Amino acid sequence: METPLQTATRLLAALEDLTAQESILLRTLDFVDAVAIQERAAPLVDQLAALAVHPEVLALGTKVKGLVERRLQSRVFLDAQLSRLQSELRRIDEARTRLARVAPAYVMTVPRIVESKLNTAA
């Protein structure tokens, strides 16, 4: 059976690998797979946090801080992407509003040809 330190070391290595994969996915703007990686990492984080009560696990503090720093970098990147996309959505919404205001001026009305019984008799 593994000691708490061995288990925590194994979990931390797996989290480091998942964090590296997530970082690559975010840089390639593959947000769907990045979310899947985050979902896979969540139980590992929970298990690692539960092991933090053991004094020998505290020795991994430096590695955990490095992992947290990489996650913060990913979050900063995501925040920048979100801000950029929100700005673009606002710009598109403004363009749609302008288009809705000017579109009626460019719509041509086609005269309707009214057929009456008199026209068909002639």
* Tally of CB atoms within 10 A around 77: 13
| Domain boundaries, given as residue ranges, for the chain | 4-103
pLDDT computed for residue 103 by the predictor: 84
CB neighbourhood size of 51 (10 A): 19
The predicted pLDDT at position 120 comes to: 56
Q: Which two tokens stand for residue 13?
A: 């290595």
The CA-based angle 85-87-88, given to 5 degrees, is 65
- Residue with tokens 């092991």, as numbered in its chain: 51
pTM of the predicted model over 0.75: no
Q: What pLDDT shows up at residue 107? A: 77
- Residues 50, 43: Cα–Cα separation, whole Å: 11
d(CA 118, CA 6): 98
Taking only the tens of pLDDT, the chain with its 122 residues reads: 889 999 999 999 999 999 999 999 999 999 899 989 999 999 999 999 999 899 999 889 899 999 989 989 988 998 999 999 999 999 999 999 999 999 888 877 666 666 666 655 55
Instruction: List, as own/partner pairs, every contact residues 43-46 make where C-beta atoms lie below 8 angstroms and the sequence separation is at least 24, other chains included.
Output: 44/11, 44/14, 44/15, 44/18, 45/15
